[in-house]
Structure 1
Amino acid sequence: MTAQPARPTPIPLTVLTGFLGAGKTTLLNRLLRDPALADTVVIVNEFGEVGLDHLLIETVEEDMILLGAGCLCCTVRGDLIATLEDLLRKRDNGRIAPFRRVVIETTGLADPAPILHALLYHPYLAMRFALQGVVTVVDAVNGMGTLDAHAEAVRQAAVADRIVLTKADLPGEQEAALRARLARLNPAAAVLPADAPAEAVFGGLFGVDGKIADVRAWLGAEAVAAAEAHHHHHDHHHHDVNRHDAAIRAFSLVSPEPVPRAAFEMFLDLLRSGQGPNLLRLKGLVGLADAPERPIVVHGVQHVVHAPVTLDGWPGPDRTSRLVLILRDGDPVFVRRLWDAFLGRPAVDAPDAAALTGNPLAIPGGP
């Protein structure tokens, strides 16, 4: 019998986003000098918008240039999927160097969700690329005003795995207030300074060798739990209904016992169908009852969930399953009840659940 060819090691892919003027170009210019980003492909919308002129070495072919440190930069040729497929063909055919990671830089007004959907929906791209995560650049000087004025900026911060704070040369009350707001909006995201090394910015769930990296740091469940407790005791009366991020809630679900696979899959299906675009982000480390020593890593954006990745073992002695969710206009109490129901646990009374989550927002049709 002919042996099946080995599946290629997935290539880590990161989406770099941030509102207009946040400093994405400056960050890219600095990071592309870092040897850690050697053999990286950077996909941009237009070369003229990015301004990587001092890094240009030669034109490889139309819409593709070679940068310092062995990086390639190419423009989206109308369709991101077509661009990624073209890059893979060139890589597999030896027409370009075998790059080790991809960074997609979005426009300043872009919601990163459609880019992530394009990757997660496409069966071939989902097999060849491993979604590393989302990096969002936030301007420390204008960040508060941008979040107040633009819902797109709020979504960019809410779906981020890491937030890079730029223009923070003069720390003070304004930066402290912005950091506090970002922590309420997305407590699972690490906030990094603009001079953070490339691996800290573009690292994440997968290493360039295709292996799983620090799952617990990527998940950020402890930070979410701490934020929930803080909000309950100190912050539940501070919501400003006029702010775009007032309707966004981050919370976690846990199970100390292994979760039945069928129950978990049904929970995810109902969560996706019920919340749809309001489920901004979902990340989790889950032990299933039929293979409790080999947990799965799940992550998704809105109604699209990446195929789970099975680990060889737990990253530490703790065997607790954890899901981190970020909802917009959703009700954490309803989701907790759903989770408890599928796990066969007694339903938590609404007042008690509300005490765990602060001041939950009503959801149409919710209990």
Structure 2
Amino acid sequence: MSAKHKLPVTIVTGFLGSGKTTLLQHALRQQGMQDTAVLVNEFGMVGLDHHLLQMVEESTILLGGGCVCCSTRDDLVQALTQLLNRVQKGERDVSKVVIETTGLADPAPIVFTVLSHPVLQHHFHIQNVIVTVDAVNGLFHLRRQPESVKQALVADKFIITKTDLAPGEEVKQLLRELQVINPSAGRHTAVHGVIDAALLFSPAVTIRQRAADPAPVFQEKGTHVQDVNSVSITFREPLDWTAFGLWLSMLLHAKGEDIMRVKGLLDIGGAGPVILNGVQHIIHPPNHLEAWPSEERVSTLVFIMRSVSPEEILTSLEAFQKAFDVKHNMPEMEILQ
């Protein structure tokens, strides 16, 4: 079943006190949000009777292999299965699902659960991972709390909150640090949780790249972002989809736990691009767009990695391209951080 026939799921996460519930309170009151099902991990007072609101107790089952990202959220399976049953019976009209996590949650198991469960994967798809970041305490959390970095690494969109309470230079520094950690994510602000719901829940398509002249980022010794690298790889000609998929599968099998995020907008010769989106070695089903979002038809692939050098990625890809005799379409690399 293609993504257009599945219920879109938006994960809203962010560190403790970063304004997740306030953001949802404002967004869910807006037009077009009446048929939103909301699953909440903690007792945030969303307070809207016309939304299906369910509290979800965290219950995680670690699957074989011991990789944290490949753990199944048994609680989430039960909650989404119950929701699906109600929708199919005609008891609820639901057009989208929002999952609000606890402030200490790692979103990767939630993504894995939806993408890998034999039933859920056919009825739901992950549309966005939204991460709220507190402008007042965000820098401190990124430098001291590993959970905050995990959340930032998997973000499709950052929502910067409390910008009215933080000095302007601190907000700029926070934006620069988020750019270093995850250059592919969009960045928006929300004062008192006010933001356009259409912006919040629209699919993230554009693969962002580094600003022309980014300011240097201060990273304290021993912080959790020190060993994070990001690289943008560009192809000027259409890719061989089969060969590329084989290379990416082999790469993620070997380095999956250290490749925190991969996102791409790929030209495979069709009328529109393919959107590639992955968290560690969990790859979302590719989404084929009917047309390009801009006039430029260039494949762009962004990797965010921990303890993997950009040169390793490029060397591996070049070797694979040569092995498949596509030397005319060699990758161009830009190290983002």
TM-score, structure 2 normalization: 0.84
- Report if aligned partners of 1:341, 1:347 keep a CA contact under 8 Å in 2: no
Amino acid aligned to 2:144:
A
Identity %: 37
Amino acid at match of 2:87: R
Q: Does 1:333 align with 2:311?
A: yes
Could you tell me which residue of structure 1 aligns to residue 15 of structure 2? 19
Match of 2:156 in 1: 161
How many angstroms apart in 1 are the aligned matches of 2:316 and 2:227? 20
How many residue pairs match? The answer is 312
Distance in structure 1 (CA, Å) of the matches to 2:213 and 2:175: 15
1:60-93, Cα deviation, whole Å (9 max, x unpaired)? xxxxxxx2xx321112265101211111111011
Verify the 8 A CA contact 1:241 1:247 in the aligned structure 2: no
- DSSP 3-state at the match of 1:284: strand
> Equivalent residue of 2:129, what SS?
strand
2: distance between equivalents of 1:193 and 1:343?
A: 41
The reply to whether residue 306 of structure 1 matches residue 288 of structure 2 is: no
Cα deviation digits, residues 37-60 of structure 1 (max 9, x gap):
2210110124xx2123xx35xxxx
2:250 & 2:121 partners in 1: Cα distance? 23
Other-structure match for 2:237: 257
Contact 1:249 1:326 in 2 (8 A): yes
Match of 1:40 among 18, 36, 39: 36
What CA RMSD, in Å, does the superposition of the two structures yield over aligned residues? Answer: 2.6
Which protein is richer in helix relative to its size?
1
Distance 1:142 1:101 in 2: 31
Distance 1:325 1:19 in 2: 23
Does the aligned pair in 1 maintain the 2:230–2:336 contact within 8 Å? no
Rg (Cα) greater in structure: 1
Say whether the 8 Å CA contact 1:333–1:357 is kept in structure 2.
Answer: no
Instruction: For 1:55-70, list aligned pairs within 5 A.
Output: 55-56=47-48, 67=49, 70=50
Query: Aligned partners of 2:311 and 2:125: how far apart in 1?
Result: 32
Q: State the SS of the aligned residue for 1:341.
A: helix
Letter in 2 for 1:244: H
Runs of 5+ consecutive residues of structure 1 not aligned to the other structure: 57-66, 206-214, 360-367
Structure 1 segment 1-367 matched on structure 2, within 5 A: 9-46=5-42, 49-52=43-46, 55-56=47-48, 67=49, 70-76=50-56, 79-96=75-92, 98-170=93-165, 171-194=167-190, 195-205=194-204, 215-216=205-206, 219-220=207-208, 224=209, 226-227=210-211, 230=213, 235=216, 240-288=220-268, 291-344=269-322, 345=327, 356-357=334-335
| C-alpha distance 175-8 of structure 1, shift in aligned 2 (>3 A) | closer
TM (norm. structure 1) is 0.78
